[in-house]
Amino acid sequence: MFRIRTSQLFRQLVRHQSTDSSLILEKSINRVQLLGRVGQDPVMRQVEGRNPVTIFSMATNEMWRSGEVENSPADVSQKTTWHRVSIFKPGLRDVAYQYVKKGSRVLVEGKLDYGEYVDKNNVRRQATTIIADNIIFLSDNLRGRDQ
């Protein structure tokens, strides 16, 4: 009985039923955390009529052993994945532009965004971007661009 009531209460908290009984909106999560190193100094771009955005690339590494011998360094494989990070949040955008630099170790929290664009050769391309809403600086050697 308690389990059923808890389940019903949980569904009521997560779901919102509109006036149209066929439409049920459920809460969902789009959350990403990346821990890695910055691949290039950030750039700030602004399209006319829109807010500026700070953009940088970030690398994450995955390591695994490919053999049965445990302490052999020759059996360790590594894969690097590159991510595009965009920051629209006004205060964070400016701090990231000033203090993030190539090689900095950072923790980025945000959400995934998928989009399309047309390149210079008029070819439609897809892009995956991390829209950051928080950055934790883990490197000791932070310096502003003015120094």
10 vs 142: CA distance, rounded Å? 45
Q: Is the pTM above the cut of 0.85?
A: no
Q: In DSSP terms, which residues pair with 108 in a beta bridge?
A: 34, 135
Range of the domain at 108: 32-63+76-137
Taking only the tens place, the pLDDT of each residue in 17-33 is 445 556 778 889 999 99
Pick from 39-48, 92-101, 136-145: least confident: 136-145
Q: Considering its fold, how many domains does the chain have in total?
A: 1
pLDDT score recorded for residue 71: 61
26 within a domain of the structure (yes/no): no
Nearest to 138 by CA among 91, 89, 105: 105
Q: How does the average pLDDT of the chain come out, rounded? A: 84
Q: Is residue 124 part of a domain?
A: yes
18 within some domain: no
How many alpha carbons fall within 13 Å on the CB side of residue 88? Answer: 9
Residue 109: Cβ within 10 Å count: 14
Nearest CA among 84, 90, 112 for reference residue 46? 90
Helices (H), the chain: 2-14, 90-99
pLDDT (average), residues 92-102: 95
Distance between first and last Cα of the chain: 65
Residue 15 lies in a domain: no
Residues 64-96, buried b or exposed e (16+ Cβ, 10 A)? Answer: eeeeeeeeeeeeeeeeeeebebbbebeebbebb
CATH of residue 127's domain is 2.40.50.140
Residue 8, domain member (yes or no): no
Q: Give a yes or no: residue 69 inside a domain.
A: no
